[in-house]
Amino acid sequence: MLILAVLATSVGILLGLLGGGGSILTVPILVYLVGMPAKSAIVTSLIVVGITSSIAVFNHARHDRVCWKTGFVFGLAGMVGAYMGGRAAAFVPDTVLLLLFAVVMLTAAMAMLRSKRSRPTAPPSGNSRFCPAQLPILPIVFDGFLVGLITGLVGVGGGFLLVPALNHLAGLPIHAAIGTSLFIITLQSGAALAGHAGHLNIDLQLTLLFTVCAVIGSFIGSAWSGKISSQSLKQGFGVFVLLLGCFLLYREINRESIAQMHSLIQENWQFIFGAATVVIVSLLYRLWLWVHRLQAQ
């Protein structure tokens, strides 16, 4: 129980410090350390991440590090995706969910390791100086929906995707991106829990312990946010997440999981085709934006 409390506190510290990342550890901790089924671990993770982020965001807001308008636009799109992901999770076997989670972890690790240096940090007060008056609505809606879908499906907050998107797409300084990311994660976690409403199965005592420790850690992380180089921390954490993702793939890939994935594709090929089409269209749109930015330079 002591080890669990220490790990939960570490999750909160990373959430407060980086605006994400800590939540990606919650599901593996609950599945492999506690022995919780994958769906229960995902729901518990959403509760822990949602409550911890909602508390951590107030500390960032006190220091004017939250852009509310940007957060609402991104968050509302994310809530739609998170609800849909939560509903879809009920039809996906636990083993397949863990494999999807491993893929998300590897993607997160690569994003952390390849991330470029962030935009300079703006002054700690007067957020109107760096919160954009006009937003690129379509890219933000696309990104918000996709991140929300991941949140609902595998129970991660998506901060590892949100912070770079807010930093580079919306033009927020890194500390404002972290604070705004926590606000978006709060909205997405609530919507994802609504999507999981038909199959909620949690251990209240364990969830309370994990949440309290994570909240304490989030205060520590928020206090350290302006004092520790998030870039260096992100690089080190990216290596750790990469190794953990490889472990999950090694642990979960077997004949049974391959058979489950084959059966899942056969039974839901129309839904999978539709979802893949949405993803491909959004990626093509982002590619179009990138090409036009290159031409404009």
Q: Domain residue spans in the chain?
A: 2-253, 264-297
Residue 18's nearest CA partner among 140, 174, 168, 172 is 174
CA gap 10, 220 in Å, rounded: 10
**Size (the chain), residues:** 297
Per-residue model confidence as pLDDT tens for the chain (297 residues)? 788 888 888 888 877 776 666 667 888 888 888 888 888 888 888 888 888 888 878 877 887 888 888 889 888 988 998 898 888 888 777 777 888 888 887 877 777 777 655 444 444 444 556 677 777 777 788 878 888 888 888 877 677 677 777 877 777 877 788 888 889 988 988 898 888 877 667 888 888 999 899 888 888 877 776 666 666 666 777 787 788 888 888 877 777 767 767 776 777 677 667 767 766 776 776 677 667 666 665
The CA-based angle 248-254-256, given to 5 degrees, is 120
Longest Cα pair distance anywhere in the chain, in angstroms?
A: 56
Predicted TM-score (pTM) of the model is: 0.73
